[in-house]
């Protein structure tokens, strides 16, 4: 097998056209899944069994089954019900795009909920007591004290989850979407040169994930006051 540079460059440029869709799927599902995850995390730490149990069950189911099964249930499975086919939701559920977003969001919500829960549980009780002694309560306490401390704890875990999501969007190619992997499969069916094209696609994913890790490293640095102070002291 010879290495054909013009061909590699050409397919690389063609694959670049898949990037917007990959990013769209990632951002939409991470944002909507993140909102759902917050709800689930609060249900888990509520100390009320009728809130905790359904959240636990949701997380067990979505973490215990493959994402591919979830995507197929939503995209192929739901069409089995005539009720759904005639409902107002069908224009959305018919589209592979929305099915992929939905499945990815449900999936990431289960994993993120546990990360958020871990972050919230890591907030030292003394900090909350101190805030209460200062007269803070409710949302103010949450916004000023709990959320900031929890955020710092959960950033590393959350960055892993986002990288997993970027990689998971590749599964959307199995339900006809032309994101990077789908584009690669299409190019291969035209040129029959799998190795070069898949290596290009892998390089693009690697570049995206590298940027994600850099972004989170910067965020982590920004929210850790210890680093900020030492920087000031040095200056």
Task: Using CB under 8 A, list all residues that contact other proteins.
Answer: 1, 60-61, 63-70, 72-73, 76-81, 163, 167-171, 173-174, 181, 184-185, 188, 194-195, 198-199, 201-202, 205-206, 209-210
Q: How far is CA 149 from CA 81, 82, 206, 223, in A?
A: 46, 48, 31, 9
Shorter beta-carbon distance to other proteins: residue 94 or 148: 94
Tell me the closest approach of the beta carbon of residue 114 to other proteins, in angstroms: 12
CB 10 within 8 A of CB 187: no
Shorter beta-carbon distance to other proteins: residue 38 or 90: 90
Tell me the closest approach of the beta carbon of residue 141 to other proteins, in angstroms: 26
What's the DSSP call for residue 80?
A: G
CB 112 within 8 A of CB 31: no
Shorter beta-carbon distance to other proteins: residue 1 or 88: 1
Tell me the closest approach of the beta carbon of residue 65 to other proteins, in angstroms: 4
Shorter beta-carbon distance to other proteins: residue 56 or 131: 56
- The runs of H, that is alpha helices, within the chain are 5-16, 19-44, 49-64, 67-75, 82-85, 90-93, 96-121, 125-133, 138-141, 147-168, 180-191, 194-223, 225-234
Tell me the closest approach of the beta carbon of residue 144 to other proteins, in angstroms: 28
């Amino acid at each position: 097998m010879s290495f054909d540079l013009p061909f590699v460059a050409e397919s690389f440029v063609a694959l670049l056209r898949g990037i917007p869709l990959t990013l769209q799927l990632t951002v939409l599902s991470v944002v909507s899944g993140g909102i759902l995850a917050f709800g689930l995390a609060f249900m888990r730490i509520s100390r009320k069994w009728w809130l905790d149990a359904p959240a636990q069950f949701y997380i067990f189911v979505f973490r215990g089954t493959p994402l591919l099964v979830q995507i197929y249930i939503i995209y192929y499975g739901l069409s089995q019900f005539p009720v759904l086919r005639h409902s107002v939701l069908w224009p959305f559920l018919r589209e592979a795009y929305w099915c992929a977003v939905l499945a990815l969001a449900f999936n990431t919500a289960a994993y993120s909920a546990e990360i958020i829960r871990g972050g919230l549980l890591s907030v030292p009780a003394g900090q909350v007591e101190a805030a209460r002694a200062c007269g803070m309560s409710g949302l103010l306490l949450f916004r000023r004290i709990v959320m900031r401390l929890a955020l710092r704890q959960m950033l590393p875990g959350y960055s892993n989850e986002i990288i997993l999501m970027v990689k998971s969007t590749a599964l959307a190619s199995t339900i006809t979407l032309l994101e990077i992997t789908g584009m690669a499969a299409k190019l291969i069916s035209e040129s029959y040169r799998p190795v070069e094209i898949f290596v290009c696609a892998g390089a693009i994913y690697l570049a995206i994930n590298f940027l994600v890790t850099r972004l989170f490293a910067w965020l982590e640095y920004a929210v850790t006051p210890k680093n900020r102070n030492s920087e000031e002291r040095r200056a």
